[in-house]
Every structure is written in C-alpha cells, then in structure tokens.
Chain A
Amino acid sequence: MSWRVRVVHTTGYRYALPVTQSYNEARMTPRADRRQNVVVSRVETTPATRAYRYTDYWGTEVTSFDLHAPHAELKVVASSVVETGAEEEPVRTGTWADLRADALVDRYTEFLDWTAYVPRDRELAAVARELKRGAGLSDAVLAASHWVHEQLTYRSGATGVHSSATDAWQAREGVCQDFAHLTLVLLRAMGIPARYVSGYLHTKPDGEIRETVRGESHAWIEAWTGGWWGYDPTNAIPVGPRHIWVAHGRDYADVAPLKGIYSGGASSALEVTVDVTRLA
C-alpha cells in the first residue's frame, strides 16, 4: 500500500562573520515517477531570495539561489507532500548473460564506472565474487546489501561527508551514505549497473497518521536486474512507502542536497532536521 507523506527538510549554514555573497544549489525536491507522485513541493530560504530552477543531467530538480545582503545564517527549508509507492519487489527478469552484452554495458556505463566515493577495491571485488556465486542477479543484489548491512555498524559521525566506501569498510562503520556506497562497490564489481539514491525515510514502519516523527536524510541504492529497483542496505529492507525519493546519480557527489560557495570566514553546518508526517 502507499502512503501520503509530508516532509519538511531544514538545513543550512551558520557563519562566524556575516557573509555578503553566497551562491548555492539545493537538490531537495522529490521527483515523480511511476511509484511516487509529488503533490506539492517548495524550497524556501532565509534570508529570502529569488530562486532559479532547472533540471540537471540526472533529471534532478535543482533550486539555485544567491544572496547579496550580509547574513550570519543561511537556512534552507524544503517542504513537500508526496504519495509514495508500495514495497518494491526485486526485478528478476535479467540474467548474467544480459549484463555481458556490450550494448547494455555501454548503456549503463556510468552506473558501472568507479568514482571517488565508489572506488575499485581488490578485497571487495573478491567478496563480490563470493557473494554472486550461484546466485541469480537479484539475489546477488540482496546478498550484497545484506553483507554490507552485517559488516558495517551504523554510527552517525563515524565518517564524514567526503568518506569513500573503502574508508567506511576499513572503519567497519558508517551512515546510510556509506552503506549505499559500499553496496555500489560490490554491485559494480559484479557487473551489475547500480546507482546511488538520495531521499528521506519515515523511521516508523507503522507510522501513525498525523504523527510527526524526526526522520532522516537517507540514501539507498537501485540496481538494474532487467529493470531498476531499489533496496535499502542500511536497514536491510526493500524500498517502500516509507522511502521518499529525491535524486539518483553515480554517487553522493551527483546528488548532494545542498552545496554552495560563499565569501567570508569559517562556517558550520546548521543542524539538519527532517520532519516526516504520514498524512494518509
């Protein structure tokens, strides 16, 4: 069954000294697709400014804005109401032979390539070989996700925003971003096209209607096994009504929720809050 969910995502920066110029891009607008319907969505900033919206290479809606009046704090609030889809079943139509076809490899080349966050790693490639042995495509995806879920301990603050999959693997701990990246390393090592998905998660499986919970910015993966489908390695659960999809790309760098530059001294991130309310 599907849910109707309101998400209010608040983030931003606090500056040591007032900043007079800053240029930013927010990727915080949920996307519509066959399993998610966006009822309403907006991105607001304090101080207020005129925003410019465009769709980037990955299809993500970007809100770009710049500020020119002195400000000591920048707050960005993205609010949306979306209807999420039912729990996703693994797509089981593809075979390993399909993935060896040059046309398919070429079509999904960007989701098979290594990146700074998802680097080639000999040790993990050996793990991937072990996990895929005898398994069908979608079972290999599940095996990789579950392996990551078992190997990594979830601990916020264990890794930074720039940590790669191998950093997290060496530390054996991380956050959702690391779980997703590490799973991508295994899947790409197996030759399965796999992409990084950013979004939000309602933290309660049996969310009460009208109850607002402190949710989180979340990340999971999608794999191509005859079609794209999502899985959440951090929680070892299928992607379902609690998952609100915002963007996908090769890794975190393609979908970072807020990035920008400013002129001035030190800054610190504001506390990120994600309030998620099940409406229906």
Chain B
Amino acid sequence: MTRSRARTSGLRRTPARAVARLGELFDGYLDPARPHADAYDEMFGEDSSVRSAYRALYDSIAPSQVAELTARSEALDRAFVDQGITFSLSGQERPFPLDLIPRVLTAAEWSKLERGIVQRVRALELFLADIYGDAQIVRDGVLPRRLITSCEHFHREATLLKPPNGVRLHVSGVDLVRDESGTFRVLEDNLRCPSGVSYVMENRRTMARVFPDLFARHRVRSVGDYAVHLLRALRNAAAPNAADPNVVVLTPGVANSAYFEHSLLARQMGVELVEGRDLFCRDNVVYLRTTEGERQVDVIYRRIDDDFLDPVHFRPDSVLGVAGLLNAARAGNVVIANAVGNGVADDKLVYTYLPEIVQYYLGEKPLLPNVDTFRCWLPEERAHVLDHLDELVVKPVEGSGGYGIVFGPQASTRELNALRRTIRANPRGWIAQPVVQLSTVPTKVGDRLAPRHVDLRPFAVNDGNSIFVLPGGLTRVALPEGSLIVNSSQGGGSKDTWVLAARSSTVDRELAEPGLATSAVESPAAEQGPELTTSQQQQQQQQEKGA
C-alpha cells in the first residue's frame, strides 16, 4: 500500500468514477437497498465521490487485496489480545473489537467541534457551581426548580461544597452523532466518570503498530499526551497550600470493567492506583496507607459512582468508598475529581435545556446543537410522544450504556403498550428522540468493507485555566448491519479516530487561538509510532521504585 501503487491504480482524483471501479473491498458498499441508506456516509459523498478527509486513506486501502485486509485484521486482533485490552460483555471477557478502518476528521471539522465542546463545558461548569450554590438560574425563573430537585443525581450533600479552583468537570465525555446532513449533534453528556479514553490511546498504539505506512502518509494529531493534561488538571485542582499535591486514582477494583483504564491512567500519570480500603479519613484529612506509614492525599481522581463514594452520606453498605470523604472535601482538605453531584448536569432531561443554560451563563448560542428531543414531562410533548411511539427512540433520563432504550420502529405492539404505561406513570423519567440515523464509516465485515453506524465521544479536560479537548476521541461502531446501538456494553466495536493536522503548523495555530489549550509538552503533530512518551517512561520508573 504505497503511494505509487495507489497512483497506478488510476483511482486518484477520479472520485466520481471511483465507486464503479472500487476495489473488491468495497463491493456493494453503496447498495441503495442497504438499511438507513440516507445516513451520512463519512467516506463517500452523495455523488459517490470520496470526501476530502478520507481521500488519502481511500487511495491507500482501495487497491488492497482481501487477503491483505484479512492479514492486517488478524494482526490487529493479536495486538489487542497481547495488550490485554478487553471489555466485559455480559460477564464474558472478549477482545474489544477495534476496526481496522480509522475514522477521519479534517482540521476544520475538528476545530468546530473543539470550540463547541469547550463552550459546552464552560457553560456546564457555571451551571454546576450555581446549582450547588445559590441556584440563581432557578431564582431567575430560567429553569424550573423541580427540574433540578427531581434529578436522581442532584445530591443535596454537595451543596456549598466549593472545589478550591472551582473546577467540577475535570473530565467530560461529550457524545456526538452526525445526522443525515453531516451536522454533528450532541447526543448526551457524560460528566460523572466518563470512561473510554484508554481505548483512544490504545487504539492509536495498536494502529500505529499494524499500519505504520498509513501514519506515514497522514498528519494525524497525537493522542498520546492525554495523561499529561489529566495530571495537570488534577494537580491544579488541589488546595493552594498543597505544595506538591499527592494525586491518586481511586478504582472500585479489578472486577470493574474499566479497571484496565484506571490502571493505565495511574501508570501514565505516575500516581498511585488505590481502592477504598487503602484510604481513610481522620479529622477530615484523607490518608493513604503505605508501607512507610500514612501519607496525606490531596486529590482523588475517583472512578467510583457518587452512591458508593462515602458511606456516611450515600449508600451505607458501600465497601468501595471512603467514610468521611465528603466532609474532608467540604473542609477543603481533599479534592474529589470529578466533583460529587455532577450527574445533575448530565441528566437527559436537563440536557434538553442546554440552549437555555448556555444562553444564561455565557450569553451565547450553543455552537453544537442537541439532537431534537421530546420531553415526556411536558404534557403537549408527552402527547406527541405517546402518539408516535413507533417512530421514536425512547430513553430513560437516567442510566447509560444503552440500557433501557426502546427503539419504537423495532418494538412490538406489546412492548409499546407497556412503554406507554411506564411513561404515563413516570413522565419525568423519559425523553424521546427521532431515530437519528448515525453517520456511517467503512468497517470491516467479513472480508469486505461495509457501512456501519458510528458515534464519537471526545474527552475534555479542564485544568482551571483552559479546557483541553483530546483531538479525536472514542469512535464507537455498531457492528450488526443497520444497528444504531454503539455501546460497548451492547457489543459495539471501536475505531481509531484521526484528526488531521492543518496544513499550517498545528502548534502555531493553537497558540494563536484564544480559549483553547495547547499541550504543555509539545508533541509532534503526527503520530509516528508507538513509542512511549517521556511521561510514560518516567512513570514506569516511579512505579518500579515504589513497588
């Protein structure tokens, strides 16, 4: 798959004719009879031309033989098993399927997304500070109070608990989909313990190993320095008088499906990975038990849900958390990241008020639109939903991972009737959305490439000075034909997500752009290979010394 081979194939710069002469890999790709044929395909435009983001990639892969594709695919699977990346599906371990065709975003597409995400995180930070403070937005009548008080994750325990640098959204995961016109829309926010960033980093490492030639032909922005940004955000979050803040990652333990990610992040940041039983509070100070005695902890990057975090305030039977943690944070002696009670901002009903929230706090219009959503708690909208259940996707406002979602068009009459009763009994608990036809990207299915639906979860890190968005994010892909459910817990796969660097120097452009963070560690714009970053090497040494 070299440049010269692509040229000799005669496919370059003849996109309109390309489809007719697609290599055998793309046999039947644009079959008009395929499910959701009006979905936006990210590689091919309406006239079957190859979109600019994918042109070089297409030129590289189109001439390939099926055998070559299969060989690469096997190499990919082996690499994953070697690295031990799995995700639990119904209790069984299986390799998290990484598709071998990357998803590509141009510099211009990304820059728009990045601005939209930064704006969203800024607004949500102000919203959370307000809700757990004076609730001015409610007093001003912009949002109903009962919208807030009826949120399952509105935690009154977090009232007046002010983080030292004001940050509550240390890490946000904003789920995006791309509608039929190619417009990115926000499907939901993940503001509690968003997971998946380890797949972004590992997917890239694996792809760089298996496809070094592709990376040589593209300027793909790096994702390797995520941990640098996260560590800075966590250290900045510490109380001002913590000179050299002690940061730890708090995991529920090895049985957790994201344990791999917890350990990877701890290792890359060079900080301790701890469980609840390793920590204790005394006089509102948190200590880590070590072989050399107690060591004070300043910042806890916790990957445990609020409900299990502190048995004094939440579930008293929790053995995963640390008793007294919340009051230690209230006293200003430790910082919990992400903050307690963030779930009020990612409730799917609160989500529908995001335009009002952005307008109220920033005086701006949202740069990224939401997906159109009907609110079952408003009588007129509920009536519409009940009349059109068979056309809508109905979702519980609470819950994640795709659980509890009903696809109207695929549900039986009996299921719809049951759903109707459920909605009437608890209208606050449900929202409904048109069946969004997620965009498609070529995906290996058997020995061919076929369109499969994708979403995108970029990760934003707020260090208190600026909001950094990791270029790309986790692209999840629904593997069964026609499926719109991309959750890994529902058997979805993933793709490496490429953000192409702008022609001009990315670093210069980022420096010139106000409001966007640049990397402290200047990393090359293009990912050349799977080498460890400096920080990773240092951390591994520290880990060994500490063991």
Identify which of residues 172-208 in chain B touch chain A, using a CB-to-CB cut-off of 8 Å.
none
Distance A66 CA – B157 CA, assembled complex (angstroms): 18
Beta-carbon contact of A21 and B280 below 8 Å: yes
Partner of A64, one of B149, B282, B327: B327
Cβ contact within 8 Å between B330 and A54 = yes
Assembly CA distance A64 to B157 (angstroms): 13
Contacting A57 at CB < 8 Å: which of B159, B311, B324?
A: B159
| Inter-chain contact A23/B323, CB cutoff 8 Å | yes
* Cβ contact of B312, chosen from A23, A52, A54, A110, cutoff 8 A: A23
B331 at the interface (CB under 8 A from A): yes
Query: Given the complex, which residues of A lie within 8 Å of B159, measured CB to CB?
Result: 56-57
Query: Are B327 and A57 within 8 A (Cβ)?
Result: no
Please report the C-alpha to C-alpha distance between residue A107 and residue B145 in the assembled complex, in whole angstroms: 6
Task: Give the docked Cα–Cα distance between A103 and B139 (Å).
Answer: 10
From A54, A66, A110, B282 is in contact (CB under 8 Å) with A66
Q: Inside 8 A of A25's CB, which chain B residues have their CB? A: 312
Q: Does A94 contact B (CB under 8 A)?
A: no
| B323 close to A57 (CB less than 8 A) | no
Asked whether B362 is an interface residue with its Cβ less than 8 Å from the other chain, the reply is no
Contact A109 B281 (CB under 8 A): no
Produce 1/0 per residue, B142-165, CB < 8 A to A.
001110011000001101100000
Neighbouring B residues of A160 by C-beta, 8 Å: none
In the bound complex, residues from chain A placing their C-beta under 8 Å from that of B145 are: 106-107, 109-110
Per-residue 0/1 for A1-35: is the Cβ within 8 Å of any B Cβ (1 yes, 0 no)?
Answer: 00000000000000000000101110000000000
B480 to chain A, nearest CB (A): 42
Chain A residues near B280: list those with CB within 8 A. 21
The interface bits of chain A over 259-270 (1 if a CB of B lies within 8 angstroms of the residue's CB, else 0) are 011000000000
What chain B residues lie within 8 Å of A103 (beta carbons)?
141
Is B283 positioned at the interface, with any CB of A under 8 Å from its CB? yes
CB under 8 Å from chain A, chain B span 113-156: 141, 144-146, 149-150, 156
Given contacts A106-B146, A113-B149, contact A261 B327 (CB under 8 A): no
A50 lies within 8 A of chain B by Cβ? yes
Inter-chain contact count A-B, CB under 8 Å?
55
- Cβ of A47 to closest chain B Cβ, rounded Å: 13
CB distance from A101 to the nearest CB of B (A): 13
In the assembled complex, B284 has its CB within 8 A of some CB on chain A:
yes
Q: Is the CB of B149 within 8 A of A23?
A: no
Which of the listed residues A21, A49, A52, A56 has the most CB atoms from chain B within 10 Å of its own CB? A52
CA distance in complex: A93, B282 (Å): 51
B331 contacts A261, CB within 8 Å? Answer: no
Closest residue to B330 on the A side, CB-wise?
A54
Are A57 and B146 in contact (CB-based, < 8 A)?
no
Asked whether, in the complex, the Cβ of A109 is within 8 Å of the Cβ of B149, the reply is yes
Cα A68 to Cα B324 in complex, Å, equals 12
| CB < 8 Å neighbour of A54 from B144, B156, B323, B327 | B327
Contacting A at CB under 8 A, from B267-294, are: 280-284
A66–B283 touching, CB < 8 Å: yes
Given A25-B312, A52-B331, do A66 and B324 touch, yes or no (CB 8 Å)? yes
Contact A66 B149 (CB under 8 A): no
CB distance from B332 to the nearest CB of A (A): 11
- Interface residues in B, total, Cβ within 8 A: 23
Is A55 part of the binding interface, using a Cβ–Cβ cutoff of 8 Å?
Answer: yes
Q: A107's closest neighbor in chain B, by CB?
A: B145
Q: Which residues of B contact A58 (CB under 8 A)?
A: 156
Query: B188 to nearest A CB, angstroms?
Result: 25
B316 within 8 A of A: yes
- Bound-complex Cα distance A21 to B284 (A): 13
Cβ-defined partner of B316 (8 Å) among A24, A56, A107, A261? A261
Looking at the assembled complex, report how far the CB atom of A267 sits from the nearest CB atom of chain B, in whole angstroms.
13
Complex-state Cα separation, A57 to B133, whole angstroms: 10
Question: What are the residues of chain B within 8 A of A106 when measuring CB–CB?
Answer: 144-146
Contact A260 B312 (CB under 8 A): yes
Interface residues of A in 34-76 (CB under 8 A from B): 49-50, 52, 54-58, 64, 66, 68
Contact partners of A261 in chain B: CB under 8 A: 311-312, 316, 323
How many of chain A's residues have a CB under 8 angstroms from any CB in B?
23
Q: Is the CB of A57 within 8 A of B156?
A: yes
| Docked CA distance A13–B311 (Å) | 18
Least CB distance, A25 to chain B, in whole angstroms: 7
Interface string of A95-108 (1 = CB under 8 A from B): 00000000100110
Q: Tell me if A54 and B141 are in contact (CB < 8 A).
A: no
Query: In the bound complex, do residue B323 and residue A109 qualify as a contact, i.e. CB atoms below 8 Å apart?
Result: no
B residues in contact with A68, CB < 8 Å: 282
Chain A 212-249 per-residue mask, 1 if CB under 8 angstroms from chain B, else 0? 00000000000000000000000000000000000000
Interface pair A57/B312, CB less than 8 Å apart: no
Provide the bound-state CA to CA distance between A260 and B327, in Å.
13
Q: Which of B248-274 contact A (CB under 8 A)?
A: none
Q: Which residues of B contact A56 (CB under 8 A)?
A: 156-157, 159
CA–CA, A24 and B141, complex, Å: 37
| Pair A21/B323 contact, Cβ less than 8 Å | yes
The residue in A49, A50, A64, A103 that gathers the most chain B C-beta atoms within 10 A of its C-beta is A64
- Residues of B within 8 Å of A64, CB to CB, are 284, 327
Give the docked Cα–Cα distance between A56 and B156 (Å): 8
Q: Is the CB of A54 within 8 A of B160?
A: yes
Chain A: CB-nearest residue to B283:
A50
Q: What B residues does A24 contact at CB under 8 A?
A: 312
The chain A residue with its CB closest to the CB of B313 is: A25
- The residue of chain B having its C-beta at the shortest distance from the C-beta of A249 within the complex is B156
| Whole-angstrom CA separation of A117 from B445 in the bound complex | 55
How far, in whole Å, are A268 and B360 apart by their CA atoms in the complex?
52
Determine whether the beta carbon of B311 is less than 8 Å from that of A52. no
Q: Is the CB of B146 within 8 A of A109?
A: yes
Per-position 1/0 for B328-351, Cβ under 8 A of A: 001100000000000000000000
Most buried by A among B316, B323, B330: B323
Interface string of B310-330 (1 = CB under 8 A from A): 011000100000011001001
CA distance A50 to B282 in the complex (A): 10
Q: How far is the CA of A24 from the CA of B160 in the complex (A)?
A: 19
- The answer on a CB contact under 8 Å between A57 and B316 is no
Asked whether B149 lies within 8 Å of A110 as measured between CB atoms, the reply is yes
> In the bound complex, how far is the Cα of B313 from the Cα of A260, in angstroms?
9
CA distance A86 to B144 in the complex (A): 36
| Interface 0/1 of A120-141, CB less than 8 Å to B | 0000000000000000000000
Q: Bits for A194-209, please: 1 = Cβ < 8 Å to B, else 0.
A: 0000000000000000
User: A113: which B residues are within 8 A, CB to CB?
Assistant: 149-150
CB distance from A195 to the nearest CB of B (A): 14
B310 to chain A minimum Cβ distance, whole angstroms, is 9
**A–B Cβ pairs within 8 angstroms, 26 of them:** A21-B323, A23-B312, A23-B323, A23-B324, A49-B283, A52-B284, A54-B327, A54-B330, A55-B160, A56-B157, A56-B159, A57-B157, A57-B159, A57-B160, A66-B282, A66-B283, A66-B284, A68-B282, A106-B144, A106-B146, A109-B145, A109-B150, A110-B145, A113-B150, A261-B316, A261-B323
Question: Contact residues of A with B, CB < 8 Å?
Answer: 21, 23-25, 49-50, 52, 54-58, 64, 66, 68, 103, 106-107, 109-110, 113, 260-261
Shortest 10 CB-CB contacts between residues of A and residues of B: A57-B156, A109-B146, A57-B159, A23-B323, A23-B324, A23-B312, A64-B327, A106-B144, A106-B145, A50-B283
Q: Given A54-B160, A55-B160, A106-B145, 8 more contacts at CB 8 Å?
A: A49-B283, A56-B156, A109-B149, A110-B145, A113-B150, A261-B311, A261-B312, A261-B323
